[in-house]
Structure 1
């Protein structure tokens, strides 16, 4: 039985390719969106566990896994909610995802195009927590959805693809969104947020001390209106990514990007409502950051990349 359902109108902001990129993916997949919600839930809840030493991390991960499965399900247990996609008003077209490469130019992929809309329904089956009401649970799931849509969905999600918003709601400060989810986690898990995580084992919204964060999410460019995505992406790869590759001090941000295919990229670029956002997480899963002392390299590198984006002429011939 369904306790409650929420119907949301979703607007596609950037070209979207779901289903791995090489099939004809002109659809929105509920399983993909649920998987991303689970991923971002883990990034938030990951700031409530101890990441070092290893044995303590293993213990805490068990607790986290149980908590996560009560929401998202497991092989034994159904998830507490379902996602249904309806009323596709999806415009599709052919798009080269790497327009600076001739092979990609000659083999464009089918993408869902910007300004497409669809309805996403969240059906709540049960609330896994005693003291939470339907409204609070619905809000928690909606916040996870917003977080997932912001960071991107589908193929090349770290490189401007698959950014979406809930149509009727303005894009809020991402950190406020994360804090709302953190409040929910602390109210339901019995865990408390750790204040000193020096080297997270995976991407988390955690802190090293009072102020220093293991995450970076910044609006780096405003008033950037893209009319032609292929031109914009070509400028981005030539003007930004190639410069990062050539600079020894920041090359680690994109090294091994394709080999570590299943890991989340160390750099995430999002585009929402004419603004470009740069995000990154400090964690030891990336070989180049396997030591807490590398924190400053990471932080300084991001400032360098921010400067590159600001001076990269990204938005001039996108207009």
Structure 2
């Protein structure tokens, strides 16, 4: 049996080889790893036991004890590699979301251009069960509804839109023609997989998942830039300018999280603190820079774990009518493993505090009237 899934690249994809500044390739192991990630996301709410999830994962995708139950091939012959500048002094949102892709304002990595498609072909072994086939199809769908590939994919770069899913040449996927059809697809998918009410132990769908859709038009990068600017406005303390703090484009900063700024300044000044900044919920490491005072770094206090990826997924989706929308997903889970705290340090000064996380900080961003995003899930 053969499955063919075709994806449309809606935003520039920064996916490379060993030298990711000049080499570009869409490697089979990388795509297989993405499917493993989304398999775990859909499997947990339907299975609910870690042991069962990992046994099923190893059975489908292979492990040191056995091969995968499918052979995988990627048709990427039509990719166009580019280093054309996509960031400039006016793309404040893209610059913010693409942190690390530029250096001193200049793009330092080449990318696979948006606007192209590729097909993943899976040749299934006879040993694949019906249940495993269902999970495999759900993983392919989740990648093309919520995800992307390459650097900064959780921040909207390398977004992939599923346009076709064929099983033995039978089409099992209808590309949404408009926003209404996309919303129905998202609700139907989540109704199928999200049956668990507990907070997952890792990034996985649950009843606590929240999905929003923001309408755009014909320019996916303009839409991503708009989302990025809104996130920057929400999170930024601003830069001091005369008697106020301003954003990079001169607008007065809202300073919603002024307490975070003051807390880290207190720490730099030698005061004892017993909590973490609220914005840590967006991911670790989390850094602060104070002119003339230095840098504060926040990361997991664990030798085996130095980061925690963001639970906020930004995905730009192409519709059949040629327009684009942003699918914004909050996928909460246990923030750090049990007994792992957060380390705050500045120079030789260090303190360890528990990870007190409030996912409402991200929910409040998604509900901002100025973001103009509509809730899709939970389905009310």
Cα distance in 2 between the residues matched to 1:202 and 1:8: 26
**Pairing 1:191-206 to 2, within 5 Å after superposition:** 195-197=196-198, 199-206=199-206
Which residue of structure 2 lines up, in the alignment, with residue 34 of structure 1? 32
Indicate how the Cα distance of structure 1 residues 174 and 256 shifts in structure 2: closer, same or farther if over 3 A, else same. same
Aligned pair partner of 1:170 in 151, 171, 175: 175
Q: Which has the larger radius of gyration?
A: 2
Give the SS at the match of 1:165. strand
Superposed CA deviations along residues 282-312 of structure 1, whole A, max 9, x for unmatched, are 2222579967xx6xx4246413344266269
Q: Which structure: greater strand fraction?
A: 2
Cα distance in 2 between the residues matched to 1:49 and 1:5: 26
TM-score norm. by structure 2 comes to 0.60
Which residue of structure 2 lines up, in the alignment, with residue 9 of structure 1? 6
Q: CA deviation at 1:275?
A: 0.6
Which residue of structure 1 lines up, in the alignment, with residue 371 of structure 2? 310
Asked if structure 2 preserves the Cα contact closer than 8 Å seen for 1:36 and 1:148, the reply is yes
Q: CA deviation at 1:111?
A: 0.9
Cα distance in 2 between the residues matched to 1:307 and 1:263: 25
Asked if structure 2 preserves the Cα contact closer than 8 Å seen for 1:158 and 1:269, the reply is yes
Indicate how the Cα distance of structure 1 residues 156 and 72 shifts in structure 2: closer, same or farther if over 3 A, else same. same
Report whether the alignment pairs 1:266 with 2:311.
Answer: yes
Q: CA deviation at 1:79?
A: 0.7
Q: CA deviation at 1:252?
A: 3.2
Indicate how the Cα distance of structure 1 residues 43 and 166 shifts in structure 2: closer, same or farther if over 3 A, else same. closer
Cα distance in 1 between the residues matched to 2:31 and 2:159: 12
Which residue of structure 2 lines up, in the alignment, with residue 146 of structure 1? 141
Cα distance in 1 between the residues matched to 2:14 and 2:30: 11
Asked if structure 1 preserves the Cα contact closer than 8 Å seen for 2:284 and 2:307, the reply is no
| Aligned length in residues | 270
Cα distance in 2 between the residues matched to 1:93 and 1:232: 21
Asked if structure 2 preserves the Cα contact closer than 8 Å seen for 1:217 and 1:278, the reply is yes
Superposed CA deviations along residues 11-32 of structure 1, whole A, max 9, x for unmatched, are 2111111137834343222211
Indicate how the Cα distance of structure 1 residues 181 and 48 shifts in structure 2: closer, same or farther if over 3 A, else same. closer
Cα distance in 2 between the residues matched to 1:32 and 1:75: 17
Which residue of structure 2 lines up, in the alignment, with residue 276 of structure 1? 326
Give the SS at the match of 2:368. helix
Q: Cα RMSD between the aligned structures?
A: 3.4
Q: Which structure: greater helix fraction?
A: 1
Indicate how the Cα distance of structure 1 residues 10 and 103 shifts in structure 2: closer, same or farther if over 3 A, else same. same
**Pairing 1:74-93 to 2, within 5 Å after superposition:** 74-93=63-82
Which residue of structure 2 lines up, in the alignment, with residue 210 of structure 1? none
Q: CA deviation at 1:44?
A: 1.8
Indicate how the Cα distance of structure 1 residues 252 and 39 shifts in structure 2: closer, same or farther if over 3 A, else same. same
Indicate how the Cα distance of structure 1 residues 283 and 163 shifts in structure 2: closer, same or farther if over 3 A, else same. same
Report whether the alignment pairs 1:240 with 2:231.
Answer: yes
Asked if structure 2 preserves the Cα contact closer than 8 Å seen for 1:146 and 1:165, the reply is no
Give structure 1 stretches of 5+ with no counterpart.
51-59, 183-192, 207-212, 313-319
